[in-house]
Amino acid sequence: MPDKRLLALGAALLAACAFFLFWGLKGPTGFILELRATKLAALLLVGAAVGISTVVFQTVTGNRILTPSIMGFDSLFLLVQSLMVLTMGSLGYAMADGPAKFLLDTALMMAASLALFSLLMGRGRGDLHRMILVGVIFGLFFRSMTAFVLRLIDPSEFAVVQQVMFASFGAVDTTQLAMAAALFVPVFAAIWKLAPALDIVALGRDSAIGLGLRHDRLSTVLLLLVAALVAVSTALVGPVSFLGLLVAALAHQLMQTPRHVLLLPAAALISGLVLVIGQGVFERILGLQSTLAVIIEFFGGLLFLYLVLGGRRR
Amino acid sequence: MIAIRNLSHRIGGAPILTDVTLDLPKDGITAIIGPNGAGKSTLMGLMARLLPIQEGKVEVDGLCVTRTRTDLLAKRLAIVTQRVGVASRLRVGDLVGFGRWPHHHGRPRPEDHEAVERALEAFDLVELRDRFLDELSGGQNQRAFIAMGLAQETDWLLLDEPLNNLDMYHARALMARIHALSRAGGRSVVMVVHDINYAAAWADHVVALKDGRLADQGAPRDVLTAPKLSELFGMEIGVEEINGRPTVLHHA
Ligand SMILES: Nc1ncnc2c1ncn2[C@@H]1O[C@H](COP(=O)(O)OP(=O)(O)OP(=O)(O)O)[C@@H](O)[C@H]1O
Ligand SMILES: [Mg+2]
């Protein structure tokens, strides 16, 4: 029997989707619906990718504070984008936008993330202080590199970079979306198959090996899958730094279980819920475009603080 | 039998274990004793393939630990390490349940639930089964991890300082439980003990390590003598015979 909380989340998500699709619908209905459906698909896909990848990442690295984006992943993305603008100029950058650039972005981010993650997995793994330090240092490094590159860019071309600096669900390319979906589905399936093993990974390396798991190999595989998810969602809509943190914390708080068969769907559903409701309210009710990311950053940070401070209660 | 042959281990050039050759007899309790930093945990880690073997060889009932598939070994040998930290928020029942993983790989059967029940009962954990680990006392926590090792139902059970944090009642109950297992249950237990009197009272075989080398091994009455213990720990230690067992007076 499916878990009640998951059912409730699912129902809430369905309602949110209906609101997103049909609220204030007027004019050429078919066209607008198609536009909204594309956007909705992107929100759900990115939501699931961010939620699931963060939960898996935190389980494998054995911490609840670091996420791929806090490790400077989004900053790396910005760095790559601003380097592209610098070398190609804003015109070349705009022209390069398309399937090829999407694939290139994804490949680049995957390679970089593997390098980053392997730093976490070496000696001193499980040492939370060291991991956070590494994460913060890299985040800082990429950010200041980006700031430096931005200074070199012509002011008139700056706007192009600024556009990718915050996540944008405003203009999602359908070809990119299809490619992302084609990549996500097998990755989700692989992670789902490993969900019971993830419960054991969460016990830490020694216990996992003692219980007969090929821990080191499995961790690498899992981090590769995480890298794929993070890379694709970043390439698709840009960085959403605090979303993963927020969603993983909420999923753990709500489910109170070590079982990833429950945690992973919960994270995916909550993530979708946050994005769909957030974007829906912004576009339909407030009539604003593309500032959802700012709000997620704000509330993500706030709620996380609240969870950290209040988390030791029952 | 666990056969250890010419086992040496180095960390960053520093020798941690040097040429240890040793047979741990099947059935019964083997106690490993020695000062802090002697290499006891390292030896356990190597036996249980938690650390890669650099030099030498370890065989568990004829299975080489480096070459045997790790999931097969998990059905032969369970280990409870000295420092276990768990990142996820676990209930005692869940933790002990994970001890059954080697047998069901994520799909628990009725016999797995029974084994978990037995382990919970054995360690007085039935009432605590729905409590979160981070809401337990140190000793309760320790018992939960040992129960998980027990639930694995392997021929070999390796326990690194299982008496840590336990009060007198639970320490003795644990030893009695392990002793019964090693007799009726046909399981072999290897444990690191710091309180020598527990080794004297319950162990069938004692292994003494010092500075990464095998200092001595044999029956408790042969190893736990005043001159040998004084040498091992570098302090004056008196040993008296009480109720026919060597009893170590090291407190004052
Ligand atoms: N990761 C490590 N890096 C460097 N040195 C280590 C490491 N692990 C253990 N050592 C060293 O190896 C030696 C043996 O350690 P080990 O943990 O095996 O001792 P032990 O006999 O279990 O001691 P205790 O009774 O305190 O548990 C110690 O000197 C320790 O400092
Ligand atoms: Mg030790």
How confident is the model over A301-313, as pLDDT tens digits?
A: 776 676 566 554 4
% chain B with pLDDT above 70: 97
Range of the domain at A51: 4-309
Phi, psi of B60 (to 5 degrees): -105, 110
pLDDT at A194: 96
Phi, psi of B242 (to 5 degrees): -125, 130
| pLDDT tens-digit series, residues A174-210 | 888 888 898 889 999 999 999 999 999 999 889 999 9
pLDDT at A314: 35
Q: How far apart are CA B198 and CA B109, in angstroms?
A: 37
Q: How far apart are CA A311 and CA A64, in angstroms?
A: 12
Q: Is residue A289 part of a domain?
A: yes
Q: Which of B45, B74, B98 has its CB closest to that of A203?
A: B98
| pLDDT tens-digit series, residues B177-202 | 899 989 887 899 999 999 999 999 99
Q: Which of B45, B84, B101 has its CB closest to that of A211?
A: B101
pLDDT at A91: 74
**Which tokens belong to A204?**
């830490």
Q: Which residues surround ligand 2, an ion (CB under 5 A)?
A: B 41, 82
pLDDT at A312: 46
Beta bridge partners of B248: B239
Q: Is residue A314 part of a domain?
A: no
Distance from CA of A54 to the nearest CA of B (A): 14
Total domain count for chain A? 1
Q: What is the pTM of this model?
A: 0.88
Residue B116 touches chain A, beta carbons under 8 Å? no
Residues with Cβ within 8 Å of residue A47, at least 6 apart in sequence: A243, A247, A268, A271, A272, A273, A274, A275, A276
CA of B41 to the centre of ligand 1 (A): 7
Q: How far apart are CA A53 and CA A158, in angstroms?
A: 31
- CA B183 centroid distance within chain: 16
Q: How far apart are CA A10 and CA B105, in angstroms?
A: 28
Answer for the pair A230, A53: CB distance below 8 angstroms, yes or no: yes
pLDDT at B30 over 80: yes
3-class SS of residue B173: helix
Q: Is residue A202 part of a domain?
A: yes
Question: ipTM of the predicted structure?
Answer: 0.92
pLDDT at A236: 78
Q: Is residue A91 part of a domain?
A: yes
**Which tokens belong to A304?**
């996380």
Q: Which of A58, A203, A211 has its CB closest to that of B86?
A: A203
pLDDT at B252: 66
Among the residues of B49-206, which ranges form H helices?
70-73, 92-98, 101-104, 110-122, 138-151, 168-183, 196-202
Nearest ligand to the CA of B194 is: 1
Q: What is the CATH number of the domain that holds A228?
A: 1.10.3470.10
Place of tokens 């504070």: A65
Instruction: Tell me which residue has its CA closest to atom 4 in ligand 1.
Output: B11
Place of tokens 């690295």: A61
Walk along chain A (314 residues) and give the pLDDT tens digit of each residue: 578 999 999 999 999 999 888 887 777 778 888 888 888 999 999 999 999 999 999 998 887 877 887 777 767 777 887 888 888 777 777 777 777 777 787 788 778 777 776 776 665 555 666 776 777 788 788 878 888 888 888 777 777 766 666 666 666 778 888 888 988 899 999 999 999 999 999 998 899 999 999 998 898 889 888 888 887 887 777 777 778 888 998 999 899 889 999 999 999 999 999 889 888 888 777 776 656 777 777 777 776 676 566 554 43
Q: Is residue A181 part of a domain?
A: yes
Q: Is residue A125 part of a domain?
A: yes
**Which tokens belong to A299?**
């509330």
Of A241-245, B96-100, B119-123, which range is least confident?
A: A241-245
Nearest to A207 by CA among B119, B97, B36: B97
Beta carbons within 10 angstroms of residue B138's beta carbon: 10
Q: How far apart are CA A22 and CA A24, in angstroms?
A: 6
Pairwise CB contact (< 8 Å): B71 & A58: no
3-class SS of residue B209: strand
Beta bridge partners of B245: B242
DSSP count for chain B of H helices, then E strands: 10, 12
CA B44 to ligand 1: nearest atom: 18
